[in-house]
Amino acid sequence: MIATTALAAIGVVGISGAAHADSTCDEPGTYYCHQDGFQGVGSVEIATTLYSDHHEYMEVRAWSNADHFVAYMDVSTNGGATWNGWQDQVSNAYGTTYTGWSDPEYDGPGYWVRGCINVNGLSYCTGWH
């Protein structure tokens, strides 16, 4: 896992443990779901679906009491050493405490994906899936 100081330098201030071995969501077609809560910030939920092309795809959504926040995914193809951040962003609508689901992101072999919430310029992320 990336050092905490390196993450703080780019604005990621909270990371949960590994995001494996949870239950299914209440969403049709998902077979894996995981939610992390970050005290005083909000929650992030990731869901994985096996699409008709027989590959896994992940989506993210978030909840918060903040006026504005963004859910997004980070994607790594080298075990988390580096990543492409801010993929498939979805924001809350004014006056709401949740986002909808993001667009799907490929989450098959060789790819690590995690869900994040950004509130007031600070990001909080689940573990890699």
All structural domains of the chain, each given as residue ranges with its CATH number in brackets, are 4-125 (2.60.40)
Instruction: List, as one string, the DSSP characters of 19-56.
Output: --S----SSTTEEEEEEEEETTTEEEEEEEEE-TTS-E
What is the dihedral sign for C-alpha 105, 109, 115, 118? negative
pLDDT by 10s per residue, the chain, length 129? 333 333 444 444 444 444 444 555 777 778 888 889 999 999 999 999 888 888 999 999 999 999 999 999 999 999 889 999 999 999 999 889 999 999 999 998 999 999 999 999 999 999 888
- Using alpha carbons, list the distances in angstroms from residue 35 to 19, 71, 94, 117, 120: 8, 13, 23, 12, 21
Tokens of 21: 């071995």
